[in-house]
Amino acid sequence: MKTEALKKQDSIDLEPFYQAMEDEPRLLEEAFETLLEMVNSEPRSAKKLALLIKQDFHDLYKEIAELCKPDQNKGDTPSCCGGH
């Protein structure tokens, strides 16, 4: 009987949660920020998430890689030096 009650708890309908995030993009951003903060505190989880993004979410990976590229106009000068 107790096992059945636990199964019912585990089968929470998340559809309203997902729908709310679709309807309100800020909720999605907040949920994502919270998730990233949780993952960032655990190095193994961070590496697993990075690999997941690289392997399964290639468009997101490309966007991240693009953001990480040094600005071509600034050369190799560290940003602390103004990039000149």
Average pLDDT per block of 10 residues along the chain, 84 residues long: 57 86 92 90 89 93 92 58 52
pTM for the predicted model, two decimal places: 0.54
Report phi then psi at 62, rounded to 5.
-60, -40
Query: What is the rounded distance in angstroms from the CA atom of residue 18 to the CA atom of residue 37?
Result: 20
List C-alpha distances in Å: 47 to 5, 16, 60, 69: 35, 30, 16, 20
